[in-house]
Amino acid sequence: MSVTIYHNPDCGTSRNTLAMIRASGEEPVVVEYLHAGWTPELLRRLSSEIGVPLRDLIREKGTPAREFGLLADAVSDEAIISAMVNHPIIVNRPIVAAAKGTRLCRPSEVVLGLLDTPPTTFTKEDGEVVVPG
């Protein structure tokens, strides 16, 4: 299975995650989800593969999630999915799917556990050095 990253190039965490994947020798399938969008089926599948409820994939910062009332406990999965499909920015990122599993890679070094040959060291955009442990 190849590695797929659901990526937002404007996000530093997403850029760092993509760079870590590439530093491992993998050339992932890059899905720029702000352009490609989401389907309800894909969102349900990713949520299931990650093992978290859909509400855990909501990004609050820089999105209309609060304005749409998505942060309330009583919001249904269907309402969350509808908002995510109509406003892709609401989905937190990056999400990476690989043979070893699917994860929301926040922080970006979460991706290292999904890679067959993670880099021995990696320097993030901000200068932080990451060593797989």
Enzyme catalytic residues: 11
Kindly write down the DSSP assignment for every residue of 41-71, as one continuous string: HHHHHHHHHHTS-GGGGB--TTSSTTTTTTT
Rounded Cα distance between 8 and 35, Å, is 9
Rounded Cα distance between 126 and 130, Å, is 11
Rounded Cα distance between 17 and 119, Å, is 12
Residue type, 71: L
Cis bond upstream, residue 94 (ω within 30)? yes
Rounded Cα distance between 6 and 19, Å, is 13
